[in-house]
Amino acid sequence: MSREDDRLQRAKDALKNALQELESEPQSSSNARATATRSPNIGVVDQQRQSATDDFRVNETLTPDRARSEVLTRAGLGRVRLVFPDRKASHQDLQKFLEGKFPKLKAAGGFEVLRAHGGGGGQRTLVPLPPSNEGYTVPYLKERLNSAVAYIRPLQADLDESSSNE
């Protein structure tokens, strides 16, 4: 088995294990945090403005290293802290909001939300979050992501990674 095949097999195994863990997690809202605010890293809810804040990255299968992060940032696809105007936003509202923040996402033919699996530093495998019956809503993402960074992956097309300034 080549080094590339071995790396691919390890990634597949990690993804399979992560999916099994996600499927075994309870889906009820009782698992959600009871407090209105969370770590400043992600998921801060402003009760007076009825908004929610999350960190998002676009276009990945592994957590990006520093060089990859710079490429994505120049393309307008890097890490961004987003404040959702409505913390109870539907899937359609969330999609419009993300497409407004990441215009290149409009040409993607839809998207899926992922989160990093495993601890430690370095690159980690990204695991898809299965959408709820209503799709990806802000309350659903807040419950499932907790304090993790959300990663957005286009479904039908790769996004243009040329610099936004070109």
Q: Per residue in 49-91, pLDDT tens?
A: 444 555 555 556 778 888 888 888 888 888 888 888 888 999 9
User: pLDDT-based confidence at 125, cuts 50/70/90?
Assistant: confident
Contact 86, 144 (CB under 8 A): no
Selection from 104, 106, 101, 95 nearest residue 135 by Cα: 95
In this prediction, residue 34 carries a pLDDT of: 26
Model confidence band, residue 96 (pLDDT cutoffs 50, 70, 90): very high
DSSP bridge pairs for 84? 52
Q: Which H helix or E strand runs over 51?
A: strand 51-58
pTM attached to this predicted model? 0.60
pLDDT given at position 102? 87
